[in-house]
Amino acid sequence: MEKISISSTARTPAVEFDPVARTFVLSGESYPEDPFKFFADPLATVNAFLEEKHEGPIHFEFRLTYFNSSSAKVLMDLFCSLEEAASRGNDVSVDWVYAEDDDNMLELGEEFSEELSAAKFSLKAIAE
Amino acid sequence: MDALSFLNFRRELSSRGIVFSYSGYLNDDILTGIGNALRTKLALDHTDAKISRGIFSAFVEQVQNVIRYSAESRGPELDEEGEPVDDPYLQEIRYGLVAIGDHPDGVRFVTCGNMIETQHVPRIKDALESIRGLDRKELTKLMREQLKDGPPEGSKGAGVGFISIAREANGRWEYDILPTDDANYCFFCFEAYF
């Protein structure tokens, strides 16, 4: 399985995935013309990774500052995959990182975390 | 050439508080372009960060609605296999109107209008009436539930665009649908307030 490293653009987030270190980071803004197309390849790899049983901890980090409603659907599907991976015995932790004055991202993080119970979830406020 | 009539056109827009307006065929490049100018204007005005984000978000969702669903569309041109041709200028564009501005009382608005097929009117009305009166918390919860259930039939996105706008606008939005001379089409207008 290969590493993924996609740089951010004005409308698409940066995607960093390392299957050996078992880490994933999504950061920036996400409102692509077609989110399903943008995320199709990287998430096919990530989902294949999550299907497997891993010995070490798996860490996913979300550092988004804005995403549109179609991207929210992609995130929801990814959260469901993370929960399934955890419920199959993987050690999955998810960090939702938001700027401390961004109540909107905090609310969205809280709402998305409703999908997680086997996976560990943390909200992390950072100073801008 | 009559500059006065065009100046009067601008005055008409200004009298409605409109700062940004576009009427014509839209595609994603227009969304990016107006979006950048809008964010620049909001930043230069030192607009409150929450209000700026809400306005920008409502703009993105509403313009994407026009780009995906306006009943007045052109393109793309198709090849013999029925696939879009490989030419950046022969792709799909859809007609709609966008206006962003502020009323004298300080309330800012993001408005979009486009033609819709009359057969879709009941579905759109039902969807919007079902979220009328919901507050931000209720809309956030509903958004998650709908994202999980998957998009309704006929949706090209997540099917939560209006819920998302209503949420950002803290439940302050309105819509109207007018019949047109052509019984097959109605004019749909949606406005969010910040």
Q: Nearest by CB to B144, which of A68, A101, A112?
A: A112
**Would you state the pLDDT for residue B158?**
58
Per CB distance under 8 Å, which residues of B are interface residues toward A?
28, 32, 36, 49-50, 53, 56-57, 60-61, 64, 136, 140-141, 143-144, 147-148, 151, 157-158, 160-161, 163-164, 168
**Residues linked to residue B120 through DSSP beta bridges, in sequence order:** none
Which token pair is B69? 């669903």
pLDDT of residue A41: 96
Distance CA A57, CA A59 (A): 6
For residues A118 and A3, what is the distance between their CA atoms, to the nearest angstrom? 26
With beta carbons under 8 A apart, name residues in chain A contacting B170: none
**Could B143 and A10 be called an inter-chain contact, meaning their C-beta atoms sit closer than 8 Å?**
no
Q: Are A24 and A92 in contact (CB under 8 A)?
A: no
Per-residue pLDDT band for B151 (boundaries 50, 70, 90) equals: confident
- ipTM confidence: 0.92
User: Residue A37's pLDDT is what?
Assistant: 94
Confidence of residue A110 (pLDDT cuts 50, 70, 90): very high
Quick check: B72 pLDDT over 90? yes
Interface test with A, best of B40, B65, B144 (most A CBs within 10 A): B144
Sign of CA dihedral B44, B48, B49, B51: negative
- For B114, the enclosing helix (H) or strand (E) is strand B108-117
What pLDDT is stored for residue B1 in this prediction?
A: 82
Interface test with A, best of B147, B160, B167 (most A CBs within 10 A): B147
Compute the nearest-CA separation of B181 from chain A (Å): 33
Arithmetic mean of pLDDT over chain B: 94
pLDDT of residue B18: 98
By the 8 A CB rule, do A90 and A123 touch?
Answer: no
> Which one, of B23, B175, B180, lies nearest residue B95 by Cα?
B23
How many Å apart are CA B142 and CA B137, to the nearest integer?
Answer: 9
Q: What is the pLDDT of residues A24-35, one digit of tens each?
A: 999 999 999 999
Q: B62 phi and psi, to 5 degrees? A: -70, -40
- Nearest residue of B to residue A12, measured between CA atoms: B32
What's the predicted TM-score (pTM) here? 0.94
Start-end of H helices in B24-135: 28-44, 49-69, 121-129
Q: Which of B36, B56, B147 sits opposite A72 (nearest CB)?
A: B147
B64: CB partners within 8 A, 6+ apart = A68, A70, B31, B157, B161
pLDDT at B123: 92
Task: Answer yes or no: are the C-beta atoms of B35 and B56 closer than 8 Å.
Answer: yes
